[in-house]
Copies of this chain bind each other. A is one copy, B any other.
Amino acid sequence: MSKKIYVHVADDHKIVIEGIIAVINTDDDIEVVDYSLTGTQVTKWFDNRKNKADVLVLDINIPELDGFEVVKHLRKKVNKPKIIIVSSYNDIRIVEEMLKLGCSGYITKNNAGAHIINAIKAVVQGEQYFSSDVQKDMLQKYVNKKEVPHGDAPESFLMETLTDREIEVLRLITQEHNTPEIADKLNVSVSTIETHRKSLLKKLKVKNAVGLAMYAIKYKII
C-alpha cells in the first residue's frame, strides 16, 4: 500500500537505540536503516549521498555535536530528513527552539515507545507530532501567553548565543576553576575572564557561578 519509511536513529546509549528499533520493528511500514551514537556520525552519514533516510529520530544529548548542532547542519541539505527529537526531559523552551530550527516532532523518552510509530507516520505526511506531555506544556504556555512582557524580544533565552570564548570559560567554571586559574589556562589576563563571567551572568540571567553551572548542565553546554 504505502511506500516503506526509512529511519535513522541517533542516541548515545545503544540500549535506547535497541529499544526504539524493537518498537519500530512491530510496524511493517517502517524500517530502521542505520543508527549513530554521536552527532558527527549522524552528519557524516547524511553527508554521504549514498545514505538516505526519510526520518531522523534524534536525541539532543549526544556527544561531539549535540542535537542542536546536528539539526543546524542538516537543515541546509537538499534531501533533508524529517527530524523527530527524542529528549530525556521536556523543557518547553527547547521544544520551541527545535521547532524554530525546523524539526517536525518532539517526544519525551518517558513514553517514546507509545508515540514513536505515530510520530514517524505523521511527520512523513508533513504533519507535526508531539507526545502528550509536550502537548500539555505547549498548551499551558499558550494559555499563559498574556504574561509575555513586550513584543519586541520574542526569542527564547536559548537563542542567547554564547561566543566560543564564553563557552570555554563556562566549561572551566563547571570544572571548579576560579578566575585566576582560568586566566592562566587561557593565557589571558584576569580582567578578561572577569569580563566573560559578567557577560555570561547577564546573558543567561543567573545570579552567580552556581547558576552558570546549573545552566551548563541543563542545556548540555558541557
Contacts and interface: CB of A to CB of B under 8 A. Distances in A.
Interface of A is mostly: helix
Contact of A176 (B12, B16, B17, B208): B208
Contacts of A21: 22
Contacts of A207: 176, 178
A204 to B, nearest CB: 11
Interface size on A, as a range, is: 35 or more
Given A207-B178, A208-B209, A209-B209, A113 B214 contact: no
Among A15, A22, A212, which residue has the most Cβ atoms of chain B within 10 A? A15
A111 B37 CA distance: 11
Interface string A77-99: 00000000010100000000000
B15 A20 contact: yes
A173 interface: yes
Given A19-B19, A21-B22, A22-B21, A110 B13 contact: yes
A124 interface: no
Contact of A15 (B113, B176, B209, B210): B113
A16 B19 contact: yes
Nearest to A211: B176
Nearest to A17: B19
A73 interface: no
Given A19-B22, A22-B22, A14 B176 contact: no
